[in-house]
Amino acid sequence: MNDPLPPSRNLETDEVVRTLPVQPISRVPVPAYVRVIQLIWFVAGVVDVLVGLRFLLKLFGASTASPFVALVNGLTAPLVGPFQNIFPVSGSGAFVFEPASLVAIVIYPLIALGAVSLIRILSRRRTAGV
């Protein structure tokens, strides 16, 4: 019988040690619906981070003349727009408490959860006799 690897000696104990060759792990393909679920959670996370950043920038009175602040406000305006005027905006001067952003931070993950749940329900394997 041919050994794939010759025996070697353990230098500390002077024992003969046989090593087995490493077998590559075969990868199981990931179903497409799992990738869609990952994408949905990623997009929901990015939206929440951007809206949360908008909330903090407005709360701490960040200058709207800053290009970064203008970028964040421009990207998140359509995301926060549907929730404007649900609650009154309050604050003094440049320091604005914008509840619409907080509502958006709560609602978008709930929408993502609903979409992911629907995908999981639709992608379940059907069992016979049920």
pLDDT in tens, 62-108: 888 999 999 999 999 999 999 999 988 887 778 889 999 999 999 99
The two tokens of residue 23 are 């077998």
Give CA–CA dist 109/70, Å, rounded: 24
Q: Are 108 and 44 in contact (CB under 8 A)?
A: yes
Type of residue numbered 85: N
The two tokens of residue 57 are 């920038």
Predicted TM-score of the model (pTM): 0.72
The two tokens of residue 118 are 């629907």
In sequence order, which residues have a C-beta less than 8 Å from that of residue 83 and are 6 or more positions away? 100, 101, 103, 104, 107
Tokens 């590559």 belong to: 24
